Amino acid sequence: MCPRQDSNLRTRLRRAVLYPLSYGGSATAKGYQERPTRPAPSGYRDGVPERVPRVLVVDDEAVIRQLIAINLELEGFEVHQAEHGLDALVKARELDPDVVTLDVMMPGLDGWATARRLRADPATCRARIVLISARTRPADLDAGREVGADAYVTKPFDPDDVVDAVRRLAERSA
């Protein structure tokens, strides 16, 4: 069973434990104000999704990959992980994810090339893509659009921003 939208566990874990891992977060979260509870998206019944969206999280940094995965799992997503671009291509064909989060700067096959290959493959072209990167220049954002990304989240990121982007894209793919 998936956690409810207003899960007290989700709030406690995300705020106190996971924010220090998101680069710019702090353990004390000074000045932090609790965000209002999000309304349940369409396709949910009593706060539980009728069909659990599948997400593939791709990042070469284990800590960042875990941060994203845990936050998505706490929101009720089925989450799988890949360490690099080639691993992501194999897992995407096996899993048929609704959404793929891709770090841009990875060794070997980077996020740009991985996104291009996902879009070119008929078996994976329907997956929504969220690029996550410290590259914030306008040219980088344009490059994200050119490779077919549906969203671009910049580092340092708030885990809620990634969850919101994934939720929005998963709703569109349903």
- Mean pLDDT confidence for 144-173: 94
> Full-prediction pTM beyond 0.85?
no
Q: Other C-beta atoms within 10 Å of 19: how many?
A: 20
Q: What is the CATH number of domain 53-173?
A: 3.40.50.2300
Q: Domain locations in the chain? A: 53-173
* Partners of 82 in beta bridges: 58
pLDDT digits (tens, 9 = 90+) for 1-42: 444 444 444 444 454 444 444 444 433 333 334 434 445 555
The answer for residues whose C-beta is within 8 angstroms of residue 151's C-beta and 6 or more apart is: 128, 129, 130, 131, 165, 168, 169
pLDDT value at residue 173: 74
Q: Other C-beta atoms within 10 Å of 40: how many?
A: 15
pLDDT value at residue 48: 56
pLDDT value at residue 30: 36
